[in-house]
Amino acid sequence: MLKNLKLTIMKKTLLLFLASAFFIVGCKKNELSDENELLTQKAITNFSENTPVRKCASYEVLQQQLKDDPTLSARLKAIEDFTEKYINRKLEARLVNGVYEIPVVVNVLYNTTAQNISLTQINSQIAALNADYSASNSDYALTPSIFQNVQSGNTNIRFVLDAIVRKSTTTKSFSTNDAMKKSSTGIAPSSPTTKLNIWCCNLSNGILGYAQFPGGASSTDGVVIDDNAFGTTGTATAPFNKGRTATHEVGHWLNLRHIWGDATCGSDLVNDTPLHNVANYGCPAAGHKSTCTGTPVEMTMNYMDYTDDVCMYMFTAGQKTRMLAVFAAGGPRNSFAQP
Ligand code: ARG
Ligand code: CA
Ligand code: ZN
């Protein structure tokens, strides 16, 4: 009995509370819409005395839909999250005014203090990549006249330093078995589907670098560059101190093959590059001819040959098209081309 009375009182109090709360909210709402009405009227009056009051009901309709569909608010939230991300352009992979901006994460593995390369050296590598991929490298104009009609010009691919991850290692030199890309023996890649990961470490057997072609596992995606072939300053050592090991490796990462097609007179799947017998080293004399079909002059200054850094300075238009194909809808690196 006493219990029931208590409950009734509680119920009544609750009802009273709810009613007054509703009244307050309702009141506020009315005040607000009155204010809005006034502002709208003012604007309309300013526009024309006789214009009828026009309203767009979109917001009201949305409110009704939110009430009717309990799943709608989550979808709206996802749209807002996306929009905010787009506006802030948080170094996500992105296509800006026709330029593919690739965020770059540099993973530095060092066994000696010298191998813990400086920010200046890292920036020199990013600068070299940007110069080479935009054809604004100072030696671009050295391209022999016979190849000037096939020069790439700006590839519209740009590199932006996103982060540097440093880690000391007891490994004196790494092979090409990807140990530098595992957290247990190196550094795992950061966001590999939207960021280009570059590992800088000491490589064994005189290897300057290696890349993973599109289509591989994202856990090992990116390029590896020897610390003595990285950038243009610091520990970078001639004849590999123009940052072009990275230019070459990133070319592979964007699906370019070696210019000799990795076979005697092989195909690189690009139609504006000449046939090459084999890889060229050092600095071949101008006009060096291939013995392949048609004995064409070899394009030894192409980034996808094996010549010294000062002797490679161009991509072709065909190579540019092949690289950009990876970003297209349905392409293997389309995730890098999203706003
Ligand atoms: N993967 C090639 C190597 O290790 C890279 C050649 C790069 N050439 C250059 N001049 N940087 O030999
Ligand atoms: Ca080295
Ligand atoms: Zn290569």
Mean of per-residue pLDDT scores for the chain: 84
Question: Do the domain assignments include residue 107?
Answer: yes
Q: For residue range 62-118, list pLDDT tens digits in order.
A: 888 999 999 989 996 877 665 555 545 443 446 777 899 999 999 999 999 999 999
Question: Do the domain assignments include residue 335?
Answer: no
Does pLDDT of 222 surpass 90? yes
Q: What is the pLDDT of residue 30?
A: 37
Nearest atom within ligand 1 for CA of residue 203? 4
Q: Is the CB of 283 under 6 A from ligand 1?
A: no
Q: Is the CB of 306 under 6 A from ligand 1?
A: yes
Q: Is the CB of 210 under 6 A from ligand 1?
A: yes
For 72-86, 139-153, 322-336, which range has the lowest pLDDT when averaged over its residues? 72-86
Q: What is the pLDDT of residue 285?
A: 95
Task: List residues, by chain if needed, whose CB lies under 5 Å from ion ligand 2.
Answer: 202, 226-228
Question: Do the domain assignments include residue 331?
Answer: no
Q: Is the CB of 208 under 6 A from ligand 1?
A: yes
Question: Do the domain assignments include residue 338?
Answer: no
The residue behind tokens 């394009």 is 299
Best residue among 256, 306, 308, 315 to mutate for probing ligand 1's pocket (most ligand atoms within 8 Å of CB) is 306
Question: Do the domain assignments include residue 311?
Answer: yes
> What's the CATH number where 150 sits?
3.40.390.10
Question: Using an 8 Å Cβ cutoff, are 119 and 164 in contact?
Answer: yes
What's the rounded Cα separation, in Å, for the pair 41 and 308?
74
Question: Do the domain assignments include residue 339?
Answer: no
Mean pLDDT for the stretch of residues 161-185: 98
Q: Is the CB of 248 under 6 A from ligand 1?
A: yes
Q: What is the pLDDT of residue 82?
A: 59
Query: What is the CA(239)–ligand 1 centre distance, in A?
Result: 11
Range of the domain at 172: 5-45+55-325
Phi, psi for 181 (deg, rounded to 5): -100, 0
Q: Is 84 a catalytic residue?
A: no
Question: Using an 8 Å Cβ cutoff, are 186 and 107 in contact?
Answer: yes
Q: How many domains does the chain have?
A: 1
Q: Encoding tokens for residue 69?
A: 């569909």
Indicate yes or no: pTM above 0.95.
Answer: no
Of the residues 92, 101, 249, 298, which is catalytic? 249
Does pLDDT of 164 surpass 80? yes
Mean pLDDT for the stretch of residues 128-153: 98
Q: For residue range 230-278, list pLDDT tens digits in order.
A: 999 999 999 999 999 999 999 999 999 999 999 999 999 999 999 999 9
DSSP of 149-165: GGB-----EEEEEEEEE
Q: Is the CB of 207 under 6 A from ligand 1?
A: yes
Question: Do the domain assignments include residue 278?
Answer: yes
Question: Do the domain assignments include residue 333?
Answer: no
Of the listed ligands, the closest to the CA of 262 is 3
Q: What is the pLDDT of residue 263?
A: 96
Q: Encoding tokens for residue 178?
A: 């990807």
